Amino acid sequence: MNLVTGIGGIFFKSRNPPDLARWYREVLGMPNDPNTSSWAFPWQDLNGEPGYTVWGVMRSSTSYFGNSGQMFMVNLRVSDLDAALTRLRAAGAQVDDKVEQTVEGRFGWFVDPDGRRVELWEPAPIK
């Protein structure tokens, strides 16, 4: 059963997210909004279904990546968050009890065997 459907986003820490986002925008033409430190790159899957992948810069003081000291976090898109979390628990992975529901969908987290916190995202249905 394939649960991961793609990369939902890549998030990393910076001492100054607005300045770093501006640098990427000015030097590489990164199409991020000047008022934010992130950007969603839209795409379509092989069936023509729309999706997006987020590039985001967060403050270096964020605890969103957990307590490991890691500088980046990958967000994986999944087709069924509950099934993915169940499989991770069955495999002995450390899985957060918290599942977050937002307008973008449902989110859960686990720690991989190398100690990296990884975010899972089951996107909300597109209306």
| Prediction pTM value | 0.86
The range of the structural domain enclosing residue 23 comes to 1-60
Q: State the pLDDT at residue 100.
A: 97
CB 70 within 8 A of CB 11: no
Confirm whether 65 is domain-assigned: no
Q: State the pLDDT at residue 71.
A: 92
Closest Cα partner for 37 from 52, 9, 59?
59
Phi, psi (5° rounding) for residue 109? -140, 150
Q: State the pLDDT at residue 35.
A: 80
Q: Does residue 101 carry a pLDDT above 70?
A: yes
Provide the percentage of residues in the chain whose pLDDT is more than 70.
98
Confirm whether 13 is domain-assigned: yes
Confirm whether 106 is domain-assigned: no
Confirm whether 118 is domain-assigned: no
Q: Domain count of the chain?
A: 1
